Structure 1
Amino acid sequence: MNKRLFFLLVVLMSLSLIGIIFVQGYWIKSTVDDKEEQFSYNAKQVLINVSKELQNKELEAFWFNFDFEDSTALKLNSDNLEQYFGLNEYGENANQDYNKILETNHKESSDFLVSTSDSIQLAKLINNRVNDFLNKDKVSGSISAEERLDRLMRMEEVEKDMLSAYISEFTSKIPIHKRLSKQLVEKSLKEKLQNYNLKSGFEYGVYANSLATKVHSDNFILDSPATYSVPLFVNISGKSNYQLLVNFTEKKEVVLSSVILMAALSIVFTLIIVIAYSSALSQLIKQRQISQIKTDFINNMTHEFKTPIATINLALDAIKNPKVVNDQSKVARYLQMIRDENKRMNAQVENVLQISKLEKNELDLKKERLQLHELVEEALTHVELIVEDRSGYVKNHFGALKSSVLGNENHLTNVIVNVLDNAIKYSVDEPKIDIYTENVRNSIILKIRDQGSGMSKAVQKKIFEKFYREHTGDIHNVKGHGLGLAYVKRILDDHHATIHVESERGKGSTFIIKLPLIT
């Protein structure tokens, strides 16, 4: 797959996934909004029904409990209403003195509906109409409950409204807490909420002209976002000075509970898709990188083998020459060259096999007590000729007093050789290498510092990965197959040691190895 097509597929897949996430979010938000609107509609219907029920109960209480002594008592007037409610024209008990009435009237003015001259005239008109339909079926003697119920049932709606309006005109002078009990309000709210299947707690309060009254629950809060209101005791002209305000304390829980399951499933499935997509994309990118690295590795290994193979072929051709075959010194020289190149190829193959065994945990490392300083000096013998040939130097600065470590001699020597070889290869001019040791608590620190080309921060994070080379694909500039430092890292891990690099582009690199001491 070419790079452009791969990039296009990644972009399209990413846009599709983002689109799915936005659609799911929009669907969840729309569902929550719809459920909230449904809750608000049902809540308003509940309050409307509660308001009607409270107003009807006041009418029924008068109709069924007022004692008509005879048929003439059906004449509805203020005296009869005062007799039923036990109140005088000021809205107070009739046996209270006038001064106390004025004082109480002043204190509870927020609970009163003040009648105007217009409402008085309206009350007189209603009174005449109410008296007409009450006397329409006048009966002699006292009126039984059954008869009152029958009469109420036969009333037309307009008659009920006029009767209610007449009573309301008088009862408007009565304090709301004497017309309406907390128990009645709570019972009515609970019943209506159950009818509409709204399983929510509530707090309520009755207000008169925007002023709080004594009828309210203990924890009612006026400025709540879940507050709904409805007018109470509406008169015949459709006006009211009382409002019933209700806070549905569990509105959010009720709204969310209806969509929480589907929303949770939607979120879970979306997360699974995101995780699966991210994992697949990561694996796809990693596979592309591995494919590229393996291609580079094959190219590098081919170059590494091509040179010794060409040298061996030339040596063999030279030996076949009649002029050379009789010269034992030249034959010996060419045979040694063939042997050296063969060992070189074998070493390359052995490195690859060792890495493979390390990854499978099949490499058996026999460890013994070693002196790190001696291992460093041994490693120098493998590279000193190369360094001298390039007019460079390797200097030791052993500052550690203790250098005893537990390790495998061959592999630790190879580790140091590989690091030195890396320093030599990436030194543009003559290699200048300094080796330092020091003790830090129960460890020995080995630092190999060069003055080569250095490396960037991004390269420093990857140099210990298998097959990684900074100059990817450049097989002529710096020879190698990207296994040296990966081998170093695996061997040191097996020795419970660590390695990291400090470097800056153009200013060289310092490889720092930390090994535990034998105490």
Structure 2
Amino acid sequence: MSRKMLITLIVLMAVVLSGLILVQGSMIKSASDIREEQFNQLVANALDMVAVQLDLDEQRLAREYASRGIVPGQKNNPSEFSNVFPRNSLSQATVSFQLSYSQGSVYGQMEEKYKAEVADSVKVSAISQMQRFLEESLEQERRRQQWLRDADWKNYDILLEDRPIEERIDSARLEMFLRNALAQTEIDLDYKYAIKNSTLGKDRIIFGDTDYKPGKKKEYPQLLFQNDYTGSKPNYLNIYFPERRRYLVKQTGLTIIPTFILTGLLIAIFAYALMVIMRQKKLSNIKNDFINNMTHELKTPISTISLASQMLQDGSVTNTPSIIEHVANVINQESKRLGFQVEKVLQMAVFNEGRLKLKFREFDANKMIKTVTANFELRVNNKNGTLHTEISADNALIKGDEVHITNVIFNLLDNAMKYSKDIPEIWVKTENRKDQLVISVQDNGIGIAKEHHAQIFDRFYRVPTGNVHDVKGFGLGLSYVKKIIDLHNGTIKVESALNKGTKFKIYFPQINN
């Protein structure tokens, strides 16, 4: 896959994922807003029910005062009665019946009377007068009922409106109305309420919960006694729910949580896919670089061997013993070199398949370092360089495969030589730190940039050098070093910077005698 195609694919995936996240976020917000609006409407309905109940309570009280003819807050002295029925005037009477009814109102006292008399001069039977009396009594009751229906009890209601708000509302009944209204709307939440008076833009709490402190929490106000004859007063019933936000999140959780989970999984899958693509791209580049290097490393000895054998075959040179020996030596050295390169590749295959078997035994690392540096010093001297050896470890006894650990040190020294500047200068040192043996190899070479420190131990990885390929290799040496050290329960650290050389430190667990 080309770099342009890879970038295009990543951009398209990012755009699609971003769009999907925006759509999911919009849906979540819409669901949350709808749930919040429903909750607000339920609370508003409950408060409206409470306000209606308070109005009905005051109307009931007004009717009670009207039926008793009592003016709230005043001494009720009945005024002169006004007769509804005309009084009968008879000159003489020996039998007298009287029915009276009185009803108080804001404007005075109403009284109805009926009186029947039997005169001596008129011969009317007592039974006839009694029948007439009963008929008039029924008529009077009918008229009384009609008067009650037409009585202006609202005038009493108007008088009640002038009372202070704390006298107009019974706190016990208010709390009962609130509980019942919220129960009907199925809002099962703790709440705090207060009756407030808002005059000249200043709120004053008249009564309510002593711990009414909404802070930044949403308050729900309800104007009280909106149907007052003289206009509603600035009295409000305010309520808030301390756990409102948590309740709304819980109610919308069935919608939000699965969406969050699916969106998170989608982001994780996208990130993983992107990581795999980048890794495969990187491995592809490393593989191509490895093939190119391997082709060059294998082609050179093959070409040399082919050229030497052709010289012997076509007789282009005099086949003297010395020439034959020299050509044979070249063929032998190049064959060894070719075998060594092939062995490196096969060795890494053995590591990857887990078929490598190490032979552990106790040995002295100081002696091993002295042997390695003595053999390697000739190569350094051929470049007019210097190999410094500092054996400072008092206890250098470790347990491991001496052959492979020796190869590790050779690999590090070989890298120090290849990446050194014109005149190589290399330091090899051993020392003890706590219960560990530390072996360090340092050079004065070109160094390694910090961003490559974590990758130099990867298989086939080589630090990029642009178009300069003066140092050849497969990128297998440090990978081999890292695997061998890990198998010995050791660690390796690198300290390096560009143009300041490189220092490798190997930590092995030492044997304490």
- Please report the TM-score for the alignment, with normalisation by the length of structure 2: 0.79
Q: What do the CA deviations read for 1:241-264 (whole angstroms, capped 9, x no partner)? A: 532122233322343233221111
Provide the C-alpha distance between the structure 2 equivalents of 1:6 and 1:139, rounded to a whole number of angstroms.
104
Change (3 A) 1:448 1:248: closer
Task: Give yes or no for contact 2:32–2:252 (8 Å, CA) kept in 1.
Answer: yes
Which amino acid in the other structure matches residue 418 of structure 1? N
Query: How far does residue 179 in structure 1 lie from its aligned partner after superposition?
Result: 3.8
Provide the C-alpha distance between the structure 1 equivalents of 2:139 and 2:362, rounded to a whole number of angstroms.
125
Unaligned runs of 5+ in 2: 78-104, 111-137
Provide the C-alpha distance between the structure 2 equivalents of 1:323 and 1:467, rounded to a whole number of angstroms.
41
Query: How far does residue 504 in structure 1 lie from its aligned partner after superposition?
Result: 2.2
Which amino acid in the other structure matches residue 226 of structure 1? K
Are residues 1:435 and 2:435 paired?
Answer: no
Which amino acid in the other structure matches residue 408 of structure 1? D
Q: Tell me the residue number matched to 2:22.
A: 22
Q: What do the CA deviations read for 1:33-52 (whole angstroms, capped 9, x no partner)? A: 23223322332222122111
- Return the match for 1:514 from 483, 487, 507: 507
Task: Give yes or no for contact 2:492–2:505 (8 Å, CA) kept in 1.
Answer: yes
Which amino acid in the other structure matches residue 55 of structure 1? D
Q: Tell me the residue number matched to 1:80.
A: 70
User: 1:41-80 counterparts in 2 under 5 A?
Assistant: 41-63=41-63, 68=67, 80=70
Higher relative contact order (CA 8 A, sep 6+): 1
Which amino acid in the other structure matches residue 227 of structure 1? E
Q: Give the secondary structure class of the aligned counterpart of 1:206.
A: strand
Q: Give the secondary structure class of the aligned counterpart of 2:398.
A: strand
Change (3 A) 1:504 1:221: closer
Are residues 1:305 and 2:298 paired?
Answer: yes
Provide the C-alpha distance between the structure 2 equivalents of 1:9 and 1:512, rounded to a whole number of angstroms.
42
Q: What is the RMSD of the two structures over their aligned residues, measured on CA atoms? A: 3.1
Q: What do the CA deviations read for 1:197-249 (whole angstroms, capped 9, x no partner)? A: 333332212234543324x2343236553222222233124322532122233
User: 1:188-227 counterparts in 2 under 5 A?
Assistant: 188-209=177-198, 210-214=203-207, 216-221=208-213, 223=215, 225-227=217-219
Change (3 A) 1:452 1:53: same
Q: Tell me the residue number matched to 1:101.
A: none
Change (3 A) 1:206 1:476: closer
Task: Give yes or no for contact 2:62–2:160 (8 Å, CA) kept in 1.
Answer: no
- Return the match for 1:410 from 400, 403, 407: 403
Q: Tell me the residue number matched to 2:457.
A: 464
How many aligned positions are there?
Answer: 450
Provide the C-alpha distance between the structure 2 equivalents of 1:201 and 1:342, rounded to a whole number of angstroms.
89
- Return the match for 1:488 from 472, 481, 485: 481
Provide the C-alpha distance between the structure 2 equivalents of 1:474 and 1:342, rounded to a whole number of angstroms.
29
Task: Give yes or no for contact 1:296–1:472 (8 Å, CA) kept in 2.
Answer: no
Q: Tell me the residue number matched to 1:122.
A: none
Query: How far does residue 61 in structure 1 lie from its aligned partner after superposition?
Result: 4.4
Query: How far does residue 485 in structure 1 lie from its aligned partner after superposition?
Result: 0.6
Q: Give the secondary structure class of the aligned counterpart of 2:327.
A: helix
Q: Give the secondary structure class of the aligned counterpart of 1:81.
A: coil
Query: How far does residue 16 in structure 1 lie from its aligned partner after superposition?
Result: 2.3
**399-408 or 41-50: bigger deviation:** 41-50
Change (3 A) 1:62 1:369: same
Which amino acid in the other structure matches residue 387 of structure 2? V
Which amino acid in the other structure matches residue 327 of structure 1? T
Q: Tell me the residue number matched to 2:2.
A: 2
Which amino acid in the other structure matches residue 369 of structure 2? V
Change (3 A) 1:222 1:458: closer
Task: Give yes or no for contact 1:443–1:514 (8 Å, CA) kept in 2.
Answer: yes
Q: Tell me the residue number matched to 1:503.
A: 496
**6-15 or 270-279: bigger deviation:** 6-15
**418-427 or 25-34: bigger deviation:** 25-34
Which amino acid in the other structure matches residue 27 of structure 1? M
- Return the match for 2:350 from 341, 353, 357: 357
Task: Give yes or no for contact 2:308–2:330 (8 Å, CA) kept in 1.
Answer: yes
Task: Give yes or no for contact 1:199–1:254 (8 Å, CA) kept in 2.
Answer: no
Q: Tell me the residue number matched to 1:451.
A: 444
Moved over 4 A (4+): 65-68, 138-144, 173-178, 321-326, 472-475
Which amino acid in the other structure matches residue 361 of structure 1? G
Provide the C-alpha distance between the structure 2 equivalents of 1:292 and 1:429, rounded to a whole number of angstroms.
30
Query: How far does residue 185 in structure 1 lie from its aligned partner after superposition?
Result: 1.2
User: 1:327-346 counterparts in 2 under 5 A?
Assistant: 327-346=320-339
Query: How far does residue 500 in structure 1 lie from its aligned partner after superposition?
Result: 1.6
Which amino acid in the other structure matches residue 15 of structure 1? V
Provide the C-alpha distance between the structure 1 equivalents of 2:349 and 2:319, rounded to a whole number of angstroms.
45
Q: Give the secondary structure class of the aligned counterpart of 2:456.
A: coil
Provide the C-alpha distance between the structure 1 equivalents of 2:75 and 2:273, rounded to a whole number of angstroms.
85
Are residues 1:233 and 2:214 paired?
Answer: no
**5-14 or 327-336: bigger deviation:** 327-336
- Return the match for 1:376 from 364, 369, 372: 369
Provide the C-alpha distance between the structure 1 equivalents of 2:360 and 2:139, rounded to a whole number of angstroms.
121
Q: Tell me the residue number matched to 2:131.
A: none
Task: Give yes or no for contact 1:221–1:247 (8 Å, CA) kept in 2.
Answer: no
Q: Tell me the residue number matched to 1:168.
A: 157
Q: Give the secondary structure class of the aligned counterpart of 2:70.
A: helix
Q: What do the CA deviations read for 1:1-44 (whole angstroms, capped 9, x no partner)? A: 22122112212221322232233223322332232233223322
Q: Give the secondary structure class of the aligned counterpart of 1:362.
A: coil
Task: Give yes or no for contact 1:226–1:249 (8 Å, CA) kept in 2.
Answer: no
Task: Give yes or no for contact 1:168–1:233 (8 Å, CA) kept in 2.
Answer: no
Provide the C-alpha distance between the structure 1 equivalents of 2:71 and 2:50, rounded to a whole number of angstroms.
25
Provide the C-alpha distance between the structure 2 equivalents of 1:205 and 1:458, rounded to a whole number of angstroms.
65
Provide the C-alpha distance between the structure 1 equivalents of 2:143 and 2:443, rounded to a whole number of angstroms.
119
Task: Give yes or no for contact 2:391–2:429 (8 Å, CA) kept in 1.
Answer: yes
Which amino acid in the other structure matches residue 7 of structure 2? F
Change (3 A) 1:318 1:383: farther
Q: Tell me the residue number matched to 1:13.
A: 13
- Structure ranking higher in strand proportion: 2
Provide the C-alpha distance between the structure 2 equivalents of 1:411 and 1:302, rounded to a whole number of angstroms.
26
Query: Percent of aligned pairs with the same residue?
Result: 31
Which amino acid in the other structure matches residue 195 of structure 2? V
Query: How far does residue 401 in structure 1 lie from its aligned partner after superposition?
Result: 1.9
Provide the C-alpha distance between the structure 1 equivalents of 2:212 and 2:315, rounded to a whole number of angstroms.
117
Task: Give yes or no for contact 1:296–1:473 (8 Å, CA) kept in 2.
Answer: no
Task: Give yes or no for contact 2:196–2:206 (8 Å, CA) kept in 1.
Answer: yes
Which amino acid in the other structure matches residue 220 of structure 1? Y
Provide the C-alpha distance between the structure 2 equivalents of 1:348 and 1:189, rounded to a whole number of angstroms.
89
Highest CA radius of gyration, 1 or 2?
2
Provide the C-alpha distance between the structure 1 equivalents of 2:181 and 2:346, rounded to a whole number of angstroms.
82
Which amino acid in the other structure matches residue 81 of structure 1? V
Q: Give the secondary structure class of the aligned counterpart of 1:80.
A: coil
Q: What do the CA deviations read for 1:428-471 (whole angstroms, capped 9, x no partner)? A: 30222121221112222212111111121112222111111113
Query: How far does residue 387 in structure 1 lie from its aligned partner after superposition?
Result: 2.2
